[in-house]
Amino acid sequence: MNQKEIDQINRGLMHFLDSSPNAFFAVANMKRELRENGCTELFEGDPWKLEAGKGYYVSRNDSALIAFRIPNSDFSGFQMMASHCDSPVFKVKPNAEITVENRYVKLNVERYGGMLCAPWLDRPLSVAGRLTVRAGNGIVTKCINIDRDLLVIPNLAIHMDRQVNEGHAYNAQVDMLPLLGDMEAKEQFMRLIAAEAGVREEDILDTDLYLYNREKATRIGLRGEFLASGRLDDLQCAFASLQGFLRAVPFRSVALHCVYDNEEVGSRTKQGAASTFLKDVLRRICAGFGKTEEEYLRLLASSFLVSADNAHAVHPNHGEKADPTNRPFLNGGIVIKYSANQSYTTDAVSGALFRLICERAEVPYQIFVNRSDMLGGSTLGNLSNTQVALNTADIGLPQLAMHSPYETGGTMDTAYLVKAAGVLFSSSLEGRGDGTYRLMP
């Protein structure tokens, strides 16, 4: 891959990050790209007519998406990559306006997921999400993005909290409420949302509205070798998975690009990785080609799932926080994650299979293991396995400042995962479930 191609991939990634303030927008953007590349949209409530050689996509809750491509020949397995499109963020509560001393209007918000609080302060923020609007005797859903600098969560001055630099305990109900305006803003928040959606305020029945950081994605570093943005975890992997999917021609396996919602709150929702979404899609693909229950289970034995969720790079100021012998760095390649207690699913078989894929893609990989005295995060792989059990490897792209509203990653790493995903989606696993496998062709 030459520099021009790498720059092009990163331009695409930055556009995707900037235009995807939350999961609803990420899914809408992926759908558009799939449609532009000839894939057909399916709906869970419609019958599916599937054809060999064709690409399809289906969403659930407008916040999770599975795209798949059927090979031209009969298929013997599924080659899958899973990522997530939600990020830790503040959600706007119902009845959000709070008046302060008859001079300010602020918004009542609550935490979604575990974020770093401090970097949300003192920067322009806005609001995006979805509304459900009365329509006839039912509802329709609309996505809105107040696409301008709208809110700020102001810090307390150092003079009023002299110890702040020794560590501040952020109280989400006290410290993290964003300022909307002066008293002119009173009763205007929902009016603004209604106006943006082009609907009457009284027709809005409910909302899922989230804050987002207005700072755009940018390349930093002496040669622009790093990339900083909100939501790198996990839109960087979701983007790379999609680009690999669009470039691939499946070989004897169905290729599936899966992007889930709600990873940051445990994945246990109808659109999360622990749901039946993947299982339901796999069963419907099998049904579409007349496969029996036994054939479905046999297909799983020669399938592979790559759970792609960003990983921690060694921090330039805190090298001591990383494992002593496994040191992933930005632009050092795709990170394969291991955990003895299986919070990451990678084992000697799935790890070896993913290493083969990286070798075939000619991209570097590196290893992440938590320090033995540190509890790490969890991710998608083992939750997905409770519904669809198969060989799974947990991987990710190395990044810094995970769960900040402005994270830093490497520009080369995105390109590496695009290539590896391309190889995954163009290959097929031959095996019977006894630890002996061949990666074909």
Taken in order 107, 111, 112, 117, is the CA torsion positive or negative?
positive
Q: Judge whether 259 and 65 are in contact, CB under 8 Å.
A: yes
Q: What's the closest the beta carbon of residue 396 comes to Co ion, in angstroms?
A: 7
**d(Cα 230, Cα 364) in Å, to the nearest integer?**
25
Q: What's the closest the beta carbon of residue 234 comes to Co ion, in angstroms?
A: 4
Question: Which CB, 92 or 308, lies closer to Co ion?
Answer: 308
Q: What's the closest the beta carbon of residue 309 comes to Co ion, in angstroms?
A: 4
Q: What's the closest the beta carbon of residue 404 comes to Co ion, in angstroms?
A: 13
| CB proximity list for 244: less than 8 A, separation 6 or greater | 81, 257, 417, 418, 419, 420, 421, 422, 423, 424, 425
Tokens of 1: 């891959």
* Nearest C-alpha neighbor of 63 from the set 33, 109, 30: 30
Q: Judge whether 20 and 26 are in contact, CB under 8 Å.
A: yes
Strand 125-135 relative to strand 138-145: parallel, antiparallel, unpaired? Answer: antiparallel
Question: Which CB, 54 or 111, lies closer to Co ion?
Answer: 111
Question: Which CB, 309 or 394, lies closer to Co ion?
Answer: 309
**d(Cα 351, Cα 366) in Å, to the nearest integer?**
11
**Part of the chain binding Co ion (CB under 5 A), chosen from 2-10, 175-183, 234-242, 337-345:** 234-242
Q: What's the closest the beta carbon of residue 379 comes to Co ion, in angstroms?
A: 6
Q: Judge whether 235 and 85 are in contact, CB under 8 Å.
A: yes
* Nearest C-alpha neighbor of 436 from the set 360, 346, 340, 352: 352
∠393-397-400 over CA atoms, to 5°? 135
Question: Which CB, 351 or 377, lies closer to Co ion?
Answer: 377
Q: What's the closest the beta carbon of residue 231 comes to Co ion, in angstroms?
A: 10
Among 33, 86, 208, 309, binds Co ion (CB under 5 A): 309
Q: Which of residues 266-285 bind Co ion (CB under 5 A)?
A: none
**Part of the chain binding Co ion (CB under 5 A), chosen from 102-110, 176-184, 308-316, 423-431:** 308-316
261 touches Co ion (CB under 5 A):
no
* C-alpha separations of 268 from 73, 153, 208 in Å: 35, 30, 18
Note the maximum CA span of the chain.
71
Tell me, by CB under 5 A, how many residues bind Co ion: 3
- The label of the residue with tokens 């499109």 reads 85
Q: What's the closest the beta carbon of residue 333 comes to Co ion, in angstroms?
A: 18
Among 233, 394, 407, 413, binds Co ion (CB under 5 A): 233
**Part of the chain binding Co ion (CB under 5 A), chosen from 74-82, 228-236, 314-322, 428-436:** 228-236
> In the chain, how many H helices and how many E strands?
9, 22
Alpha carbons within 13 A on the beta-carbon side of 45: 2
Question: Which CB, 144 or 383, lies closer to Co ion?
Answer: 383
**Part of the chain binding Co ion (CB under 5 A), chosen from 5-13, 60-68, 206-214, 232-240:** 232-240
Q: What's the closest the beta carbon of residue 428 comes to Co ion, in angstroms?
A: 28
Q: What's the closest the beta carbon of residue 384 comes to Co ion, in angstroms?
A: 14
Question: Which CB, 83 or 428, lies closer to Co ion?
Answer: 83
Q: What's the closest the beta carbon of residue 64 comes to Co ion, in angstroms?
A: 14
Question: Which CB, 232 or 278, lies closer to Co ion?
Answer: 232
Element (DSSP H or E) covering residue 284: helix 277-288
**Part of the chain binding Co ion (CB under 5 A), chosen from 145-153, 154-162, 225-233, 387-395:** 225-233
**d(Cα 39, Cα 50) in Å, to the nearest integer?**
12
Among 234, 394, 407, 413, binds Co ion (CB under 5 A): 234
Question: Which CB, 391 or 399, lies closer to Co ion?
Answer: 399
Contacts to Co ion by CB under 5 A = 233-234, 309
